[in-house]
Amino acid sequence: MNAAYLFRLVCLSLASFFLVNGIAGAVTMMFSNAAIRIAETMKPRSAARFLFILRMLPAILGLSAVLGLCIPSYLWLEPQIASERVGLACLLLAALAAIGCFRSLVRTAGAIRASARLRSEWRYSGNRVLLKERVAPGISDEMVTVVRNNEPLLALSGFFRPRVIVSRSVLAELPIEQLEVAVLHEIAHRNSCDNLKRLFLVLSPEFFPFANGFAAIEKTWAKISEWAADDEAVERNSHRALSLATALLRVARMGARPQLSILQTSLLPVDHDLAARVNRLLCLDQVPLEKLPHVPSRAILHSLCFAACALMLVGVPATLASVHRLLELFLH
């Protein structure tokens, strides 16, 4: 495989990703307000999954098109002896895709570096202590680290083996019932892999460089993820809901909260609407959640994936040939 052949493949792959990601992203942005309204009628955990999938869909489609169609058709049908030149349009789209991917990688590297720095500080200033007398059964001391920090800190840090980080000031401020439900809130984030989802959101490129078209979806996802963690922590128990609402207010009154990485989940995010969240907890048993008609979404998704794979397997030669013809037009 010579350098010119590989260069054309890279340009076509980047340009194809940009087109698919851009078109799907533009459509997603156009219907984002409608999608948010739909999500607000769903249970919080289902709504959070829906918005996360919607946000990731353009990048997933773009990557699938490149790995499943563009690269195989090029390698199978494009002779290595061909000496075609890459057209200006293809070069321009490839450059835009490269800029978008580079920006997302830089953003991700910065977020990981900030997260790692904080984790290192907490590792040296913290200790794993037995909290079984102060926290509900089932919360292992392996899940919690207490750090010597005067700032109000209660957060979830890490991706694959995340830990709840609690400052001694919060530990001293919150009574046992409030501490228990606050820690359970972070455990709910842990169980739903919210920190890992944050990593994917940061890593996923925008549909156009320097645009921020998915901001509304990402902000709503973060808000509804907090609601879902609240619901799972209180388990629709009015007494526990009151304890969590009180804990939120106590932590908020303790003063300025530390600046965390975007990849870490805090009990009380800096940009979160505290009043709306407290009001929701206080009214949790009084205002029933609206529900969409039950739809077996997982079964439908699996059926669609199976059907798509079957169609591709049946028509691989014809599909790849058609894609290759499109790439030939795109290349010039």
For 204-256, how does the pLDDT look when each residue is reduced to its tens digit (9 = 90+)? Answer: 998 888 878 899 999 999 999 999 999 999 988 888 999 999 999 998 888 77
Among left, alpha and beta (phi > 0; psi -120 to 50; other), residue 255 is left
Distance CA(287)–CA(136), nearest Å, equals 28
Question: Total domain count for the chain?
Answer: 1
What confidence category does residue 315 fall into, taking pLDDT thresholds of 50, 70 and 90?
very low
Q: Is the pLDDT higher at 92 or at 313?
A: 92
DSSP state of 142: G
Angstrom CA distances, 43 to 217, 293, 294, 316, stand at 16, 11, 11, 40
- Check whether 290 has a pLDDT greater than 50: no
- Check whether 297 has a pLDDT greater than 80: no
Q: Is the pLDDT higher at 209 or at 286?
A: 209
The predicted structure's pLDDT at residue 288? 43
Angle (nearest 5°) at CA 297 between 292 and 302: 170
Q: Global pTM?
A: 0.81
DSSP state of 37: H
- Check whether 293 has a pLDDT greater than 50: no
The predicted structure's pLDDT at residue 304? 55
For 146-193, how does the pLDDT look when each residue is reduced to its tens digit (9 = 90+)? Answer: 888 778 889 998 888 888 888 888 888 889 889 989 999 999 999 999
Any domain includes 294: no
- Check whether 61 has a pLDDT greater than 70: yes
Any domain includes 106: yes
Any domain includes 231: yes
The predicted structure's pLDDT at residue 209? 82
Can you tell me whether residue 266 is helix, strand or coil? strand
Q: Return the structure tokens found at 112.
A: 């990981």
- Check whether 49 has a pLDDT greater than 90: yes
Any domain includes 69: yes
Calculate Rg over the CA atoms of the chain: 24
For 65-106, how does the pLDDT look when each residue is reduced to its tens digit (9 = 90+)? Answer: 888 878 887 777 666 665 667 778 888 888 999 999 999 999
Any domain includes 251: yes
* For the ranges 34-38, 233-237, 256-260, 328-332, the one whose mean pLDDT is highest: 34-38
Any domain includes 274: yes
Report residue 284 CA to chain centroid gap: 26
Least confident of 35-44, 200-209, 276-285: 276-285
What confidence category does residue 133 fall into, taking pLDDT thresholds of 50, 70 and 90?
very low
Number of neighbouring beta carbons within 10 Å of residue 107: 14
Percent of the chain past pLDDT 70, that is, above it, reads 76
Q: Which domain range does residue 305 map to?
A: 3-289+299-331
